[in-house]
Amino acid sequence: MKNNVIFKGWWLPLLLVAPQLIISAIFFFYPSGQAIWNSLFLPDPFGLKTEYVGLDNFTFLLSDSYYRASFLTTAIFSISVSVFSMGLGLYLAVLADRLIKGAGVYQTLLIWPYAVAPAIAGILWMFMFNGRIGLISWYLGLLGYDWNHALNSGEAMSLVVVASTWGRVSYNFLFFLAGLQAIPKSIIEAAAIDGANFWKRFRSIIFPLLSPISFFLLVVNIVYSFFETFGVIDIITAGGPEQSTTTLVYKIYADGFIGQDLGSSAAQSVILLVLVGLLTVFQFKYIERKVHY
């Protein structure tokens, strides 16, 4: 913070930051500390007292095949959602950027799913594939394919990925479009005069210039798929079948509220906390580097 002129006094600024500090303390720091604390204890079956068990909750978790499977599930889910929504977003942004007129209209037509709640997106897609009556599952049935995402784990995963991707394309589209429009047209024109066709220009000029933003989007999309897609999964599959769509966040909820296994749920929170912390540090490191360039 450089040469900003500063007001005098110390009680006024303390008063000004107080609301945010108090709310953070009550609803952020205390619960986070509580999660760490609870992860070291095991409540007895009657909930009367808890017993200190050290790292037992963690060692038990890591030996639990369902928990280990939820890591893989989370990885498959978040990488698929990120790659598909970024791919589609980039594709549409490149097309819109090529237009002289009309890019604005397409932008309006493409960005609004950002405002649709993941849970609502889940309802829309769930119904299209709803066994007996959904539009797509019914036509698939006519073609002889019996779609049932309540029983088939591959279909369940595809459906939650498609529903989440649908809601996420607009976000990536906007960032890629802004990135493309920031590339000076003179560079691209120069390459065109040198005889580079569209694909050549895209590969050797546009894509490298977009790589910082792509990397940023990858991290943001992965974090998004970790947390914000809870509604999609809860509505479409509720984590099933056989926990095949139970992501790390969904498992914290399922074990903590439905299974009432507070120690395990708290330990999972701590593991996720570390994981997201690492991702964030990674992202900040990267942004710092970008600022230097």
Partner 1 sequence: MIEKKKSGYWLSHLGLCLGVLFIFFPVWLAFVGSTVTQDDILQPPYPVLPGPHFFENYSKALFHGGPEGYDTGQISVLKMLINSTIMALGITIGKIIISLLSAFAFVYFRFPGRKTFFWIIFLTLMLPIEVRIVPTYQVAANLGLLNSYTGLIFPLIASATATFLFRQFFLTIPSEMVEAARIDGATPMQFFKDILIPISKTNIAALFVILFVYGFNQYLWPLLITTTPDMQTIVMGIKFMIPTGDDYGHWPTIFSTAMLAMLPPVLIVIGMQKFFVKGLLESDK
d(CA 206, CA 52): 57
What would the two tokens of residue 188 be? Answer: 């691209």
Residue closer to partner 1 by CB (options 56, 97) is 97
Q: Report in angstroms how near the CB of residue 79 gets to partner 1 at its nearest.
A: 19
Q: Report in angstroms how near the CB of residue 16 gets to partner 1 at its nearest.
A: 4
Q: Report in angstroms how near the CB of residue 246 gets to partner 1 at its nearest.
A: 14
Q: Report in angstroms how near the CB of residue 76 gets to partner 1 at its nearest.
A: 19
Contact between residue 239 and residue 233 where contact means Cβ atoms under 8 Å apart: yes
Which residue from 266, 268, 270, 273 is spatially nearest to 38, judged by alpha carbons? 266
Residue closer to partner 1 by CB (options 34, 204) is 34
Contact between residue 177 and residue 169 where contact means Cβ atoms under 8 Å apart: no
| DSSP per-residue string spanning 160-224 | HHHHHHHHHHHHHHHHHHHHHHTS-HHHHHHHHHTT--HHHHIIIIIHHHHHHHHHHHHHHHHHH
d(CA 248, CA 58): 14
Q: Report in angstroms how near the CB of residue 95 gets to partner 1 at its nearest.
A: 4
Q: Report in angstroms how near the CB of residue 165 gets to partner 1 at its nearest.
A: 10
Residue closer to partner 1 by CB (options 72, 100) is 100
Residue closer to partner 1 by CB (options 157, 188) is 188
Residue closer to partner 1 by CB (options 13, 208) is 13
Q: Report in angstroms how near the CB of residue 263 gets to partner 1 at its nearest.
A: 10
d(CA 15, CA 106): 47
Residue closer to partner 1 by CB (options 95, 151) is 95
d(CA 267, CA 41): 9
Contact between residue 259 and residue 67 where contact means Cβ atoms under 8 Å apart: no
Q: Looking at 99-152, list the stretches that DSSP marks H as alpha helix, in order from N- to C-terminal side.
A: 103-111, 118-128, 135-142
